[in-house]
Amino acid sequence: MEEENKPLIIIECPHCHVQVIPTADNLCPSCREDIYNKQDINSRQVVLMVQESEKLPPYCYSCSAPTDRYVRTSADEESGLETLIFGEKSPESTSNVIVYLPECELCSDSEIELVEVDYENQTMKIMVDIRFQERVLQFRES
Ligand SMILES: [Zn+2]
Ligand SMILES: [Zn+2]
């Protein structure tokens, strides 16, 4: 193996932020991600479906850092069309979907990426960090 002649470099893995010496294939020994491929960092965003007023764990939806800051996220349906079709609605079943999303201060400038809103079931789908999704799934089970 010629690999031994390579100079050892310690870099911060862009994926797991651990100081590592990349493997011969330029993989992070800690998380096995490609050290030089920063492209897929955004692809670690996944779609999460949340119910209106669902309690979410105190971690930033966008970077998974612990936070106790919650932002009100609402999706409004513009027309009153649904009310006309489905008739009367109870006062609680408003057409807008409101979710209190944990978001750390660092991420407060970034836009929440809304994928889809289901007014009938009062749910919304948003893009979240994959680690946040894991925490939410654990949180729901507990
Ligand atoms: Zn890593
Ligand atoms: Zn954050």
- Residues 31-56 have pLDDT tens digits of 898 888 776 665 588 899 999 989 99
Average pLDDT over residues 81-86: 46
Whether 118 and 93 map to the same domain: the answer is yes
Residues with CB under 5 A from ligand 2 (ion): 60, 62-63, 65, 104, 107
**Cα dist from 105 to 19, 69, 71, whole Å:** 25, 8, 10
Say whether both 84 and 131 belong to one domain: yes
- At 113, the amino acid letter reads E
Distance from the alpha carbon of residue 31 to the mean position of ligand 1, in angstroms: 4
What's the 15 CA to ligand 2 centre distance in angstroms? 15
Asked whether residue 88 falls in the same domain as residue 121, the answer is: yes
Structure-block tokens of residue 93: 């079943």
Residue 27, beta-bridge partner list: 34
My answer on whether 29 and 90 are in the same domain is no
Q: Are residues 21 and 77 in the same domain?
A: no
Query: Which ligand gives the minimal distance to the CA of 28?
Result: 1
- What is the predicted pLDDT for the residue at 85? 45
Query: How many other C-beta atoms are found inside a 10 Å radius of the C-beta of residue 105?
Result: 10
Co-location of 95 and 63 in the same domain: yes
Range of the domain at 119: 44-141
Q: Quote the number of domains for the chain.
A: 2
- List, for residues 102-120, the tens digit of each pLDDT value: 999 999 988 888 888 898 8
Does the pLDDT of residue 125 top 70, yes or no?
Answer: yes
pTM as predicted? 0.61
CA dist 87 → 80, 81, 83, 90, 118 (Å) = 11, 10, 5, 10, 18
